């Protein structure tokens, strides 16, 4: 039996992020008061407390901050193992977790450049994968 993979419970905070992914945009928060950029959208800036930070479309460029190969996968992912999951540091600053596609055989070393690639996920969600930029 194939178990259902988990998917986001989009809420009033996160729905714009997931809608952005569906539209090919990676949205982050950018505070007008303190210029702090943060990953997930919420009604205030987590650094200075200002109301309703603006949404910004991130460039989709980033680098590998940390990366692991999952060998012993949760049941719903067992058919895909082994696979890479990383923390990607976006060019704009925030970090995001994502699956990594090695593209043309790129090595997921710390600092290796990656580019966002929107791919279909379960329950009609679109997920922001990242692809290693080049081999070597």
Partner 1 sequence: MSAVIVGVAESDLGIVGPDRTELALQAQAARRALAEAGLTLADVDGLATASVEMNAPVLRVAEYLGVRPTYLDSTNVGGASFVSHVGHAALAIEAGLCEVVLITYGSTQRSQRSRVYGQAGAVRYEEQYEQIWGLPMPVGAYALAASRHMGLYGTTAGQLAEVAVAARQWAALNPVAFSRDPLSIEDVLASPMVCSPLHVRDCCLVTDGGGALVMTSAERAADLPGLPVDVLGFGEASTHYRIMSMPDLSSIPAAISAPAALARAGLSVSDIDVFELYDSFTITVLLTLEAIGLCAAGEGGAFVAGGRLAPGGDLAVNTSGGGLSYCHPGMFGIFTVIEAVRQLRGECGERQVTGARTALAHGTGGTLSSGATVVLGRQG
Tokens coding 48: 């200075």
Q: How far apart are CA 25 and CA 70, in angstroms?
A: 27
Of the candidate residues 36, 77, 101, 103, the single one contacting partner 1 (CB under 8 A):
77
CB 55 within 8 A of CB 92: no
Instruction: List, edge to edge, every strand of the sheet that includes 27-30.
Output: 37-38, 27-30, 54-57
Q: Nearest distance from residue 59's CB to partner 1, in Å?
A: 18
32 binds partner 1 per the rule CB under 8 A: no
Stretch that binds partner 1, among 6-14, 22-30, 55-63 (CB under 8 A): 6-14
5 within 8 A of 76, measured Cβ to Cβ: yes
Contact by Cβ (8 Å): 61, 77: no
If the CB atoms of residues 3 and 22 are measured against partner 1, the closer one turns out to be 3
Q: Which stretch binds partner 1 (CB under 8 A): 25-33, 51-59, 119-127?
A: 119-127
Tokens representing 27?
Answer: 């949205």
40 in contact with partner 1 (CB under 8 A): yes
When asked if residue 99 is in the footprint of partner 1 (CB under 8 A), the reply is yes
Q: Which of 27, 67, 116, 131 binds partner 1 (CB under 8 A)?
A: 67
Contact status: 121 vs partner 1 (CB under 8 A): yes
The whole-angstrom separation of Cα 81 and Cα 22 is 26
**Under the rule (CB under 8 A), what is the footprint of partner 1?**
3-11, 14, 39-40, 65-77, 80, 83, 85-87, 95-99, 109-110, 121, 123, 125, 127
């Amino acid at each position: 039996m194939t178990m259902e993979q988990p998917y986001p419970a989009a809420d009033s905070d996160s729905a714009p992020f997931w809608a952005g992914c569906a539209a090919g945009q990676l949205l982050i928060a950018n505070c007008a008061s303190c210029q702090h950029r943060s990953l997930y959208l919420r009604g205030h800036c987590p650094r200075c407390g200002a109301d309703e930070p603006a949404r910004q479309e991130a460039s989709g460029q980033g680098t590998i901050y940390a990366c692991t190969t999952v060998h012993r996968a949760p049941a719903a992912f067992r058919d895909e193992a082994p696979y890479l999951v990383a923390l990607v540091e976006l060019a704009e600053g925030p970090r995001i977790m994502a699956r990594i596609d090695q593209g043309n055989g790129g090595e997921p070393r710390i600092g290796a450049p990656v580019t966002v690639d929107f791919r279909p996920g379960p329950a009609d969600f679109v997920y922001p994968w990242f692809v290693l930029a080049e081999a070597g």
